[in-house]
Structures are given as C-alpha cells and as structure tokens.
C-alpha cells in the first residue's frame, strides 16, 4: 500500500511498470478528502522483476488543465543484499582548489601587466608633451 496526499485534486491515474517497461498495474481512483491509498495485490507485485521498477502518478484537478506528475523508481532484489558503496575521493576537490589558485594568479598577473603597460604609455606621452 502507498498513501498519497493531494490538495485541490479530483482523481489520480497511476501506472506500475517492471524493468522491461511492461505495465503490471494501472488504474484511476477518485479523490474525495485529499488522501487516497494505492493498494497492489500480490499478483501485481509478483509481476515486478528484479531491477528498477517504476511508479508514475498523474494527479488531475478539475480547475487546472495540466496534471501534476510524480515518478519514482525502486529496486527489487531476490535476496537481501547490500548495495555497493562508492568511495568518493577527495583528490578531485584538491585539484579543483589548485585550478582556482592558478586562475586567480593569472588574473592578478594580467591586471598588473595591463597597469604596467598603461603607466609606460602615460610616461611616454608626458615626455612627448614636455619636449614640445
């Protein structure tokens, strides 16, 4: 069973699909008090396969033209197993920080170079005006 809470909705359309994309259960339910419970029989759940199964819910309102859509996937396994753990290395963060410093250094060096060039031009211009 899956409880669903909505507001300002009149009906719900649901689709439960297996990993092959085959719909194993679907239906339309009327919503009266803002909550509804989706119940799936053991026959429906036995049609779900090992792997990623999907539940898609469309919530329809009489006052809105476009439905709200909710999609979720869940993993079905035959025996209790632990999902593989992934170790995220911190080296990528260190490389990113080093790249940031290189960029900042290049920016500062560029600003200093432009300032130096402008100062030299002013000196030459002032010398030329003074000699006239």
**Burial environment of residue 15 by CB neighbours within 10 A (0 to 12, 13 to 18, 19 or more):** middle
Q: Residues with Cβ < 8 Å from 102, sequence gap 6 or more?
A: none
More confident residue, 28 or 97: 28
Question: Token pair for residue 19?
Answer: 């990993």
pLDDT for residue 111: 93
Per-residue pLDDT band for 104 (boundaries 50, 70, 90) equals confident
Nearest one of 43, 32, 34, 38 to 13, comparing CA atoms: 38
Q: Residues with Cβ < 8 Å from 112, sequence gap 6 or more?
A: none
pLDDT for residue 5: 87
The rounded distance, in Å, linking the Cα atoms of 108 and 94 is 21
pLDDT for residue 131: 74
Per-residue pLDDT band for 13 (boundaries 50, 70, 90) equals very high
* pTM of this prediction exceeds 0.95: no
Architecture of domain 2-76: Sandwich (2.60)
Average pLDDT over residues 54-79: 87
Contact of 83 with 74, CB cutoff 8 Å: no
SS3 66: coil
More confident residue, 40 or 100: 40
């Amino acid at each position: 069973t899956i409880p669903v809470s909505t507001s300002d909705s009149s009906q719900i359309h649901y689709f439960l699909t297996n990993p092959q994309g085959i719909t194993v259960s679907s239906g339309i339910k009327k919503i009266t008090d803002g909550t509804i419970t989706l119940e799936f029989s053991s026959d429906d759940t036995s049609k779900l396969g090992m792997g990623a199964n999907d539940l898609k819910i469309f919530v329809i309102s009489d006052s809105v033209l476009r439905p709200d859509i909710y999609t979720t996937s869940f993993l079905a396994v035959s025996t209790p197993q632990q999902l593989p753990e992934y170790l995220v290395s911190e080296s990528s963060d260190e490389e990113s920080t080093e790249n940031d410093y290189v960029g900042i250094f290049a920016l500062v060096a560029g600003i200093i170079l432009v300032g130096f060039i402008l100062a030299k031009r002013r000196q030459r211009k002032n010398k030329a005006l003074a000699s006239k």
